[in-house]
Amino acid sequence: MSSTNSLKGGSPGPAQTLAQKLLAAASGRHAVQVGEILNCGVDLAMFHDSSGPRRLKPMLEELGTGLWDRSKVVLVMDHYVPESDDESRRIVRIARDWAHDQALPHVYDSVGICHVVVPEHGHIRPGMFCVGGDSHSPTGGAFGAYMFGVGSTEMLGVVASGEIWIKVPQTLMMRWNGRLRPGVTAKDMALHMIGRFGMSGGRYQAVEFCGEAVRALSMQERMTLSNMSAELGSQVGLVAPDELTVRYLREAGVPEDRVPDVSAWQSDAGAVAEWYDFDAGTLAPQVAAPHSPANAADVQDYPGTGIQAAYIGACTGAKLEDLRAADQVLQGRRVAAGVSLMVAPASLQDQQQAEREGVMARLVRAGATVLPTSCGACSGYGGSIPEGANVISTTARNFKGRMGADTARVFLASPYTVAASALAGRIADPREVMA
């Protein structure tokens, strides 16, 4: 069900959505209207070894300019690490040398995926306007920040000037009522929305996730939801910040004087948006068939679909809570004969905590092979996905050849469903294993 409406109430002046408030602040305005073109000041520019120095360095040299503000630049080495061949060594060496030459203060080398590592270190906070050199940069929206992905040419303009223009988008409000049941996650919510609306369903607008079920999500689950707004075709995927956000920031080491008042970063009652309603309580685990996240359906729609490989990795499926979810399903069991279970934790910090809790040891006893904390097979590196295999994966995308093997057929699912499928040797409903 959908509607375009404005809610009753609101404060004096034009009612604004969270997206409008963030863009107004970034452009030095009190309010903005949908369709306006703004010049916005950037609070944070993030890029990685693949999207960053190897492309930006020669362009900056040609321009003859430097970085506008080194303190607002974050570089993460996560795509081509660990270096497996001469080309990856060359790309990573360019990034490391450039970071040294530029005296960058915020460099994270081989400690995890950028979309997880950057929030872990408190770089993204409510009210910020951020850009990232990666299509899954909307992850930052989970913190009430306006963050989106840009290409190398746009990033060149950002790092040289500290500014970028943007057209104020319409907001699509995805309201999730009720609560998710055990074994159902934010990944399932995301796949369900993508399956319903398609990969251009967000129409390059701003999506805000709201409702009781969203409020009940942890920060890591909210990050998964915001991350996959990219697959929905949205520019940003926002979650209004609350006390849970504040607690996360404090635990990430953000100084108290830099923790913002989250009450300022809420959509106004009366702000015009396009609304869609969902029932979290009736949502089943979702599986997206090859070769698109939009091919999502209930797990029960895949009876008897055998798998040869199961992959728990990526920024949408291998954070600490994802590793715990897989552990909860495996519960001392062994994966099915003929199934390869691979686990690539999303960050070193999450892996170390999972080790302290005994999660990693139990995953290994269940038959898992632990891979490095990097983008790995999600972005086609590492060679861990076999040719011709049916693979069930916690990654965000399953395009043909995306994970490296053109002949592999990749199904997307949550960590619960991937772990249950690894046990069964076929796509399986985790709720049956956990019952």
| pLDDT single digits (tens) 37-58 | 999 999 999 999 999 999 999 9
Per-residue confidence band for 11, with pLDDT thresholds at 50, 70 and 90:
very low
pLDDT of 4 higher than 60: no
Per-residue confidence band for 212, with pLDDT thresholds at 50, 70 and 90:
very high
| Amino acid at site 317 | G
Report which DSSP code applies to 283: P
- Give the span between the Cα atoms of 69 and 72, in whole angstroms: 6
Query: Mean pLDDT over residues 358-372, rounded?
Result: 97
Distances from the Cα of 176 to the Cα of 180, 215, 281, 283, angstroms: 9, 9, 9, 10
- Give the span between the Cα atoms of 131 and 258, in whole angstroms: 20
**pLDDT of res. 383:** 63
Distances from the Cα of 140 to the Cα of 54, 120, 126, 332, 350, angstroms: 24, 11, 9, 35, 18
**pLDDT of res. 376:** 82
- Beta strands 368-370 and 37-41 are unpaired
How many Å separate Cα 407 from the centre of its chain? 26
Contact 416, 285 (CB under 8 A): yes
Report which DSSP code applies to 386: P
Between vectors from CA 245 to CA 16 and to CA 235, what angle results, nearest 5°? 50
| Amino acid at site 8 | K
Query: Mean pLDDT over residues 96-115, rounded?
Result: 97
pLDDT of 5 higher than 50: no
Q: List the domains of the chain with CATH numbers.
A: 18-279 (3.30.499.10), 286-432 (3.30.499.10)
The whole-chain average pLDDT of the chain stands at 94
Query: Mean pLDDT over residues 373-390, rounded?
Result: 81
- Give the span between the Cα atoms of 241 and 124, in whole angstroms: 12
Point out which residues pair with 277 in neighbouring strands. Answer: 175
- Say what percent of the chain tops pLDDT 90: 88
- Give the span between the Cα atoms of 48 and 66, in whole angstroms: 18
What are 150-174's pLDDT values in tens digits?
999 999 999 999 999 999 999 999 9
**pLDDT of res. 369:** 96
Residue 28: which residues within 8 A CB-CB, separation 6 or more? 41
**pLDDT of res. 387:** 86
- Give the span between the Cα atoms of 421 and 414, in whole angstroms: 11
pLDDT of 10 higher than 50: no
